[in-house]
Structure 1
Amino acid sequence: MPKSPQAPEHNRREPPVDATDRALLAELVSNSRISVRALAERVHISRAGAYARIERMLAEKTIRGFTARIDPARVGLGTTAYVTLSIDQAAWRPLCAALRSVPYVDHFALVGAEFDVLVLVRAPDNEALRDVVLRELQALPGVRSSRTWLVFEEADGRGFSDPA
């Protein structure tokens, strides 16, 4: 009997996390500095169980790392803008690599909208923002046009939360 073709790697779905994993994730998002002992107590599992689940989620890349959240203005990045890019159809992969080296680019994503790429830029001031947009982003190969939206004020969302 012939083998059935396997789904391409990008189409495979990892098994979903369970309720205990979700509780661990919610606690870690709330406070990534929490001790494993306190984390296990809050989620009502053993310390060894908490360690094992965290290690598994790190290995599976469910948890992609632990980080501090920084106030951009307090570290000299007082100007924030969203920049949208319209790009040539085949430009995403090389553009993705190039965007990683553009100064002050905080985050970027390929999106389905009237534009193709959404870029979050955090710069020291308007002059630096102008340089990033006009000299860096618009000069990247495959970029056809850009639009910039200056951010006046930001608010945090809920972050990860268990929808159940």
Structure 2
Amino acid sequence: MKAFLSLGVVISLSLASSALAFDKSAFFDAALCKPPYTTTSATEMYNEAEKLAKADTSLLTAAVYKLSADFGKQGFKTNELIFAGSSIGVLIEGLRADELAKTYHLKSDNLGSLLGAASKSYARALVKADQPTREMGGVSIVARESAAFPGKTLLACEFVTHEDLEAVKKLQAN
């Protein structure tokens, strides 16, 4: 699982000392790409998830960590963290993509509907100053409803290479 973290993901950690417990709300912040990410911080976030729960990898393309308590914010409940590719996110309880889009200023991206990947898909690219690897690709905050997560909505900080984005656009054109 560590290989997919090579590009990093936006996260925040609340580790003042080894005596203090990890602040699980940092996982929610990570899904919102806060603060701007680094490979080091993404690896630290992954390592914290590994300490807190065993990953469910039954989805094959993602690792889902179910934590013991809700760590959601702003009325969005979650106790599940997800790492997929070079993305980190949370699974929000309920089908709430429209509400997440409104709250976090996301726009329909028309990318999630490709091959039935999502019934609703919203995104907002980070501003240029917060894009860590502009030459390689872009980072966006996304919200998606998908049959892959019944009764839940993915909220994630997602890195997509320029090549992958072009391939998706070509598939959509056909």
Query: Under TM normalisation by the shorter chain, which class is it?
Result: under 0.3
Structure ranking higher on relative contact order (CA contacts 8 Å, 6+ apart): 1
Normalized per residue, the structure richer in strand is 2
Is the helix fraction higher in 1 or 2? 1
